[in-house]
């Protein structure tokens, strides 16, 4: 959800709109210049000049239409994102106590494994599914440092990688036995 919301910021929409309008204006100005140049050189409107004019005006219209379509897509994606955010907030409100208990259980397991504060931060980000590069950027560390901390925490936990780490905490929640325990 974070990746999508980054692109929906109004700055990106405004930039896209400015680029589309700027291109359309440049094409319109070029069209006017080109037609006036042909009139001055040839003394009359030729079929060639008229075709160029229609072509360039058509391009300007297409660019504006593409800008409008992109704007509508941004608005649709914004509405969709807002709906997902509302659903997420409802889920979080309904399950706040469970999530707090789960977070404490995860932290207690990190204690049992002897993770350092830095390893804890890296482990949390890896469990959330971020890449080494993304973790490094978020924690303002070098990617090599994140990789080294990851390997250290995998070794301490007896895991082979991020998938094992995430599965350790999620398999009982989402695993095959979870259906039976919910129905019981």
Helix axis angle for 96-113 and 47-94, nearest 10°, is 80
Q: Examine the pLDDT at 1 and tell me if it is beyond 50.
A: no
pLDDT > 90: percent of the chain: 49
Read out DSSP for 52-74?
HHHHHHHHHHHHHHHHHHHHHHH
The model's confidence at residue 141, banded by pLDDT at 50, 70 and 90, is: very high
76 and 104 inside one domain: no
| Alpha carbons 32 and 34: distance in angstroms, whole number | 6
> Are residue 110 and residue 163 in the same domain, yes or no?
yes
Residues 83, 116, single domain; the answer is no
Q: Are residues 81 and 122 in the same domain?
A: no
Mean pLDDT across the chain, nearest whole number?
Answer: 84
Number of domains into which the chain is organized: 2
* Whether residue 105 sits in one domain with residue 81: no
- Is residue 80 one of the residues assigned to a domain? yes
State the residue range of the domain holding 51: 2-88
Could you tell me if 26 and 64 lie in one domain? yes
Q: Do 9 and 84 belong to one domain?
A: yes
**Residues 35 and 111 reside in one and the same domain:** no
Residue 2 pLDDT more than 60? no
* 82, 100: one domain: no
Q: What is the pLDDT of residues 16-29, one digit of tens each?
A: 777 777 877 787 78
- Do 80 and 102 share a domain, yes or no? no
Q: Is 146 helix (H, G, I), strand (E, B) or coil?
A: helix
pLDDT one-digit tens code per residue, 43-90: 777 787 778 778 877 877 887 787 778 778 888 888 999 999 999 999
Q: Is residue 125 part of a domain?
A: yes
């Amino acid at each position: 959800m974070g990746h999508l919301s980054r692109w929906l910021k109004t700055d990106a929409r405004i930039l896209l709109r400015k680029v589309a309008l700027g291109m359309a204006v440049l094409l319109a100005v070029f069209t006017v210049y080109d037609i006036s140049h042909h009139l001055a050189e040839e003394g009359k409107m030729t079929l060639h000049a008229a075709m160029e004019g229609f072509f360039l005006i058509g391009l300007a219209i297409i660019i504006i239409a593409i800008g409008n379509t992109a704007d509508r897509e941004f608005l649709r994606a914004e509405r969709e994102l807002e709906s997902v955010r509302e659903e997420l907030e409802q889920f979080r409100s309904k399950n706040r106590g469970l999530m707090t208990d789960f977070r404490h259980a995860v932290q207690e397991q990190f204690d049992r494994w002897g993770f350092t504060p830095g390893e804890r931060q890296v482990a949390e980000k890896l469990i959330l599914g971020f890449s080494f590069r993304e973790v490094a950027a978020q924690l303002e560390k070098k990617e090599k440092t994140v990789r080294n901390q990851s390997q250290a925490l995998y070794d301490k936990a007896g895991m082979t990688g991020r998938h094992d780490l995430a599965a350790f905490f999620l398999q009982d929640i989402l695993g095959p036995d979870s259906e039976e325990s919910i129905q019981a």
